[in-house]
Amino acid sequence: MGIEIEKKFLVNKKKWNKPNTGCLYTQAYLAKDGCTLRVRIAETKAFITIKGPTVGCSRKEFEYEIPMADAKDLMKLALYPPIVKIRYKQEIGGKIWEIDEFIDSNEGLIVAEIELNSEQESFIMPEWVDQEVTSDKRYTNASLSKHPYKSW
């Protein structure tokens, strides 16, 4: 069992220099009621992920690679339309920041996440970070699939 400790922030588009390469992600949610069940395709690989309820900025997470054909079939069972985004990674102060630039129905939204070893761990805040949205449920990917950013 893994524990995900993650903080989430909005990105200031004017201050962020987008890297040249990113990875296209398509992910869909099969269940979301206390636990989240997600299927993700990241270019040539596919994963199934189960996440427990969030407490603070921590939650249990289980992720396993699955065959691409299975992932494509599971996508058809999604509760809502899939999320499509380009994920960029940037190392700052020895930590990897994952920056998601959403497209399609969530276009215009850019969110950065950092995974920590503990909820109290300190880290360097990049200049392109605007505000923390860790506890704002609207910014979870599962919520964005049901209530897209463009509809706010």
List helix spans (H) across 19-140.
68-75
Q: What CATH number belongs to 2-151? A: 2.40.320.10
Q: Which residue, among 104, 66, 62, has the nearest Cα to 82 in the 3D structure?
A: 104
Q: Which residues contact 133 (CB under 8 A, 6 or more apart)?
A: 8, 9, 10, 111, 139
Question: Is there a catalytic annotation at residue 80?
Answer: no
Q: For 16-48, what is each residue's pLDDT tens digit?
A: 999 999 999 999 999 877 789 999 999 999 999
d(CA 52, CA 1): 11
Q: Which of 29, 64, 88, 139 is catalytic?
A: 29
Q: Which residues contact 117 (CB under 8 A, 6 or more apart)?
A: 5
Q: Per-residue pLDDT for 1 more than 80?
A: no
Q: For 55-95, what is each residue's pLDDT tens digit?
A: 889 999 999 999 999 999 999 999 999 999 999 999 999 99
